[in-house]
């Protein structure tokens, strides 16, 4: 072999017109696809930057801790912000246990048969039901049939059912990541199924389950349509600074609905307030999501198997 070809593989074969064209197309496509993918960063940065820039005049801690004033034309976000926290917490209390145990059933108990396939299909379809149809369901089932009226409880239950697939999907992933040999070792010691799940499977997948729970929080905090007719109101005055100002059988305000109201229904809102509301909502949701991402990365680094 002569030394020339070893230093430069390109000259090993003479480049024909076809291979030159091939290389050319390859480079063009690589750049093209890279540009297309990068374009997705632009709306994200643009939106956050734009909202933040427009909201700058109103942003302060006071903005978060005072109630809306003058028919929502001025003031802050205390009532809607607290309302969103109530809705998220109550919906989480319902959907987290049901979702986690549903995933436990699907992954640890269910056999591979037609019934399990239907259950999985139901999870997929539940995730695909439009949010406004969830709202209609909430009105029909919780507000009217169960007699809860328009209340935090009815709205939270609607949100809980809507976000259930998020928890089921990520918990299933987390449970699948626990090696089968862990379970087999435990069964061999005479442990029952539930003992195995409680002592071995759940502790080893807890971080993955938490990621799903966090994602549920972010999803529930941003939703508008399901709570519009089931418990969130345009305006409700509550005591500022009192964390227990709402009662769960009464209505509340919510950040997402508040943003909709002040940007479409209320005239002459102080410039900046809708943007401030939007940036608080986006900021909350993205921070919660970032927490999930950090948790997932941390989890991957300390995985023991």
Q: How far is the CB of 111 from other proteins (least distance, A)?
A: 6
Of residues 177, 188, 186, the one with CA closest to residue 299: 177
Smaller CB separation from other proteins, 245 or 269: 269
Q: Provide the token pair at 108.
A: 């640890």
Query: In this structure, are residues 107 and 119 in contact, taking their beta carbons and an 8 Å threshold?
Result: no
Residue with Cβ nearer other proteins (101 or 235):
101
CB nearer other proteins, residue 239 or residue 286: 286
**Residue 169, SS3 per DSSP:** helix
d(CA 213, CA 204): 16
Least separation in angstroms between residue 302's CB and other proteins is: 17
Q: How far is the CB of 217 from other proteins (least distance, A)?
A: 11
Backbone angles phi, psi at 266, to 5 degrees: -105, 120
* Complex with other proteins: residue 33 or 206, whichever CB lies closer: 33
Minimum distance from CB of 188 to other proteins (Å)?
A: 8
Q: Which is nearer to other proteins, 246 or 260 (CB)?
A: 260
Compute the least distance from the CB of residue 236 to other proteins, in Å.
15
Decide: 220 and 93 in contact? Cβ < 8 Å: no
**Distance separating alpha carbons of residues 279 and 85, to the nearest angstrom:** 16
């Amino acid at each position: 072999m002569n030394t020339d070809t070893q230093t430069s593989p390109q000259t090993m074969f003479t480049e024909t017109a076809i291979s030159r064209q091939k290389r050319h197309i390859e480079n063009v496509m690589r750049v093209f696809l890279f540009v297309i993918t990068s374009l997705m960063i632009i709306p994200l940065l643009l939106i956050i930057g734009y909202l933040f820039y427009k909201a700058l005049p109103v942003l302060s801690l006071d903005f978060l801790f005072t109630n809306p004033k003058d028919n929502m034309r001025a003031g802050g976000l205390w009532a809607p912000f607290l309302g969103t926290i109530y809705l998220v917490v109550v919906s989480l209390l319902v959907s987290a246990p049901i979702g986690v145990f549903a995933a436990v059933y699907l992954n640890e108990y269910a056999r591979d048969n037609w019934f399990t396939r239907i259950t999985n299909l139901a999870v997929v379809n539940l995730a695909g039901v439009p949010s406004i149809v969830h709202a209609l369901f909430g009105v029909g089932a919780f507000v009217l049939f169960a007699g809860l009226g328009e209340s935090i409880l009815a709205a939270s239950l609607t949100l809980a059912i809507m976000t259930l697939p998020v928890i089921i999907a990520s918990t299933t992933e987390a449970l699948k990541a626990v090696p089968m040999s862990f379970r087999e070792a435990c069964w061999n010691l005479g442990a029952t199924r539930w003992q195995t799940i409680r002592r071995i499977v759940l502790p080893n997948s807890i971080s993955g389950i938490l990621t799903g729970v966090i994602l549920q929080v972010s999803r529930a905090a941003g939703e508008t349509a399901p709570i519009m007719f089931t418990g969130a109101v345009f305006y409700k005055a509550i005591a500022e600074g009192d964390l227990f100002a709402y009662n769960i059988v009464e209505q509340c305000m919510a950040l997402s609905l508040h943003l909709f109201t002040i940007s479409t229904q209320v005239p002459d809102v102080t410039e900046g307030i809708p943007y401030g509301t939007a940036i608080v909502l986006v900021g909350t949701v993205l921070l919660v999501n970032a927490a999930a991402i950090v948790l997932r990365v941390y989890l991957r680094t300390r995985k023991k198997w």
